[in-house]
Amino acid sequence: KMTFAVMQPRKVKTMLAIPPPDTSQVPEALHVETSPEELQEAITEFERRAEQDYYAEWSWFSYQSDVLVNTWSTVSDSEGQQDYTTPTQTFLQWIASWQSQLLATGNMAVLSPLTTDPDYLEIKTKLPNALHFRRGRHYARARNMELELPIPPLSTDKNKPDWTTVRKAWWSVIDLVYRSANSPMRLAMDMRITGDSDIIMAPQRGNNHGTVAIEVGSITDIVTEEEWQKFCQDLVEALIALAPEGRLRPHWGKEWVNMRFGGLPAREYIRTVAYKSEIPECLAVLEKIGKRQGWTLQDLHKKFSNKLLDDIFFCDTQAHA
C-alpha cells in the first residue's frame, strides 16, 4: 500500500545540523556562538532524526554555512498530497544543476539548491517521489564516491547506537574540504542513515545498529583526476579509521576501484577482507540456484565475465567447478 512522506526540508547552520564532537576543530567560517545547552539541544535533535525518522539525509555544499536537513517519516493518509516535483520544478532544478557546473567552472562554491524555498516548506507526497526529491543535481555530469560505515554500539549500552561516530564521519569530510581554498569536492556531501540488510553482498549487511553512508560529489572535467583521486583516498583513510577492520565498504555502483583500503588495492580488499566470507556464500547460493535451473558458475563466468567481476568472484574459477 502506498504511503506518503511529510517532508519539511530545512536549512540549518552547519555547526548545529550535525554538531561536531569537538567545537574547537570547526573552521572559522562555520563557527557560530552557542551555549552548551544549545549545543546539546542540537545534538539531541540530530540523534532524534537519525534514530526515529523513516528517511534521514543531510546535504552540505562546499563552503556553505548551512546544511540541508531532509529527514521525514511516512503516513498512510493521502489528504493534501501533491506530485513532487512538478514539471516546472523539475525544469528549474535542471537549470540549477547547470548553474552549479558553471559556478564550479569558475572555481566558486556551489550554491545550496534550497536558496529560493520558503523557510518553513512542507511537502506531502508519495514515498517514491520523496526519496530523491531534488531532481536537478542528478542531471549534472558528476564524479561521486560513497562509503558505507557501520554505526557502532555505545560503549555504555551495547543495545544503542553510538551517534558520535556518525558526527565524526561527517566532520571528517568538512575538514578535508577546508584543507584547501579550492577543494576537489565541487558539489556536495550527502549523508544518509540506513539500516542493516540481509542481502549477502549488500554493504550494509551485518550492521546491526545501522549504517552511515557518506557520499561526496564533484563536477566532471573541472577537477583533475589526480586531485579527485587524492581527495577520495584521503576520505577513505579518514573513515576507515572509524570502522572495525574490514567493515568500511564502498557503494558498488559508484567510484571506488582506484582506492586503497588499509593499504590494499580496492579489489583485493573487497575479496580478501571486506567480503571474505560473503563472496563464497554468494557463490554457493548461486550454485544452488544454477542446479535447479540448469546452469553452472562456469556458465555465469562465461556470460558475465569482465575484469572487475573476474577479480572479485572468479579469480580462481577452478575452485568453483
Give residue-wise pLDDT tens across range 213-224. Answer: 999 999 888 899
Look at residue 55 and tell me if it is in a domain. yes
In this predicted model, what pLDDT tens digit does every residue of 48-83 receive, in sequence order?
Answer: 999 999 999 999 999 999 999 999 999 998 888 888
Q: Are residues 34 and 60 in the same domain?
A: yes
Look at residue 272 and tell me if it is in a domain. no
Q: Are residues 239 and 293 in the same domain?
A: no
**pLDDT band with cut points at 50, 70 and 90 for residue 86:** low
Q: Are residues 227 and 283 in the same domain?
A: no
Strand partners, 188: 61
pLDDT on residue 122? 84
The owner of cell 580496492 is 266
Q: Are residues 154 and 256 in the same domain?
A: yes
pLDDT on residue 176? 97
SS3 state at 61:
strand
Q: Is the pLDDT of residue 95 over 50?
A: no
Q: Are residues 218 and 295 in the same domain?
A: no
Look at residue 282 and tell me if it is in a domain. yes
Q: Are residues 140 and 38 in the same domain?
A: yes
pTM above threshold 0.85: yes
Look at residue 242 and tell me if it is in a domain. yes
* Number of independent structural domains in the chain: 2
Q: Is the pLDDT of residue 149 over 70?
A: yes
In this predicted model, what pLDDT tens digit does every residue of 264-290 receive, in sequence order?
Answer: 999 999 999 999 999 999 999 999 999
Cβ atoms 223, 136 nearer than 8 A = no
pLDDT on residue 266? 98
Look at residue 118 and tell me if it is in a domain. yes
Q: What is the DSSP letter of 274?
A: I
Which CATH number belongs to the domain containing residue 77 in this structure?
3.40.462
The Cβ of residue 106 has, within 10 Å, a number of other Cβ atoms equal to: 8
Q: Is the pLDDT of residue 211 over 60?
A: yes
**135 or 21, which is more confident?**
21
In this predicted model, what pLDDT tens digit does every residue of 162-185 receive, in sequence order?
Answer: 999 999 999 999 999 999 989 999
DSSP states of 208-253:
TT-EEEEEEEEETTTS-HHHHHHHHHHHHHHHHTTS-TT--EE-TT
Q: Are residues 72 and 182 in the same domain?
A: yes
Name the residue range of residue 230's domain: 4-266
**276 or 317, which is more confident?**
276
Amino acid at 157: D
**pLDDT band with cut points at 50, 70 and 90 for residue 91:** very low
Q: Are residues 203 and 261 in the same domain?
A: yes
Domain boundary among 266, 287, 305: 266
Average pLDDT over residues 183-201: 96
Look at residue 271 and tell me if it is in a domain. no
With a pLDDT cut of 90, the percent of the chain lying above it is 72
Look at residue 8 and tell me if it is in a domain. yes
Q: Are residues 234 and 113 in the same domain?
A: yes
Q: Are residues 262 and 285 in the same domain?
A: no
